[in-house]
Homo-oligomer: A and B are copies of this chain.
């Protein structure tokens, strides 16, 4: 037997043993196909007055009969806000939604509708891309009986393949008939692609005498060939808030939440966040920044956005560790976030997390490459409460053993004090593992 044949025998045996390990993990209750951070069940989300949901299997791509198409209908009088990917190669549905949001300046008198499909991102599909969006949106307007300007769409899945619009349009009547205030969990399932669990979050706030609710769903978990890591987020509230104020609030909170997470540093062509405020709660509308009730609303909305953002990271492809990186003492908040993301995106930091390696030198490297102002000799680094480095060198009280023990936790807190200003930010990331390589490199091989 030549060398290669002997190697092949052993490689086959390794594959067999790996499959047995996966079976044993499942038997022990750890499904290797599920993120170790997946919750036991989908959270019990409150119904939001003025919003109804439905989901069906439309067979856009998946042939397993799974839910892959959702409709959300929002009652008249609502406001819609949105933030989107900054990619220069944005997909057609993103361009459609951006145009709609830009034209929204007040409460909308007719109902609004959001249609979302999984399996095909309708991205890089040339002129056909916008044609498909227009076809689906016109059908939606006709079926629901609303103006075309009140329709929104998001798509996630493979790119470069034409969206079979008719598979969606032929399901719209069925979706309309099934609309229900309690079906948000089905909607959360229908928007999944490579996600290993559906993501939902809720919060409430008391604004004077009125209790308002916020509930949202999200998808996104990195990328899998040939799907894009689209992050889609849909949030609903019964609060009454003027559209321009909702838009500026959502944009600001996006910077603190979804723009502070990273799985692999790559940016989808389809990222979409829509927030609908129905105004169905018994309250006067919040018109401007001076309204004292804005703070309570912001807190509830931020909690939902932050919760969903963290769930997206925890479902990162191959993730076995979750890291919260807090940067203090940067030149300003923007610099702090950039430094945090330089650390969170560094392959060397992420592989160190995977290897449970307290490799603070890689954090110094990442601070240095961020392009932001830093002084090597003022830098401080913490792992949880452990002071690792201070004043430009390893801390006299630090022991490698203490650092190594800390890194064995599955949720890690890394603190960086830049030491030159008041800027502060927290970003969230996951580790870079063999699982990520397997999902993204070995998928088609």
Contact = CB atoms under 8 A, between A and B. Distances in A.
Contact of A126 (B13, B352, B393): B393
A89 B365 contact: yes
A58 B62 CA distance: 63
Given A223-B348, A347-B264, A393-B160, A445 B357 contact: yes
Given A6-B24, A225-B352, A347-B436, A376 B90 contact: yes
A126 B160 contact: no
Interface residues of A, number: 90
A354 B352 CA distance: 21
A360 B433 contact: no
B441 A365 contact: no
A431 to B, nearest CB: 8
Interface stretch (A104-112, A170-178, A265-273, A303-311): A265-273
A199 B188 CA distance: 53
B126 A392 contact: yes
B441 A354 contact: yes
A444 B354 CA distance: 11
A13 B24 contact: no
Given A365-B268, A374-B88, A359 B124 contact: no
A370 B88 contact: yes
A126 B442 CA distance: 44
Nearest to A418: B88
A223 B362 contact: yes
A99 interface: no
Contacts of A85: 368
A84 B269 CA distance: 35
A373 B87 CA distance: 10
A366 interface: yes
A86 B371 CA distance: 8
Contacts of A229: 348
Given A87-B368, A124-B392, A356 B25 contact: no
Contact of A440 (B266, B347, B364): B347
A271 to B, nearest CB: 11
A10 interface: yes
Interface string A87-125: 111100000000000000000000000000000000111
Interface string A320-358: 000000000000000000000000011110011011110
Nearest to A128: B393
A376 B88 contact: yes
27 contacts: A3-B28, A7-B24, A10-B20, A13-B17, A14-B14, A14-B18, A87-B365, A88-B367, A89-B365, A90-B368, A128-B393, A160-B389, A223-B365, A225-B359, A228-B361, A229-B348, A265-B265, A265-B347, A266-B362, A347-B436, A348-B440, A351-B437, A351-B441, A356-B445, A357-B444, A359-B444, A437-B437
| Shortest 4 CB-CB contacts between residues of A and residues of B | A89-B368, A87-B368, A267-B369, A355-B441
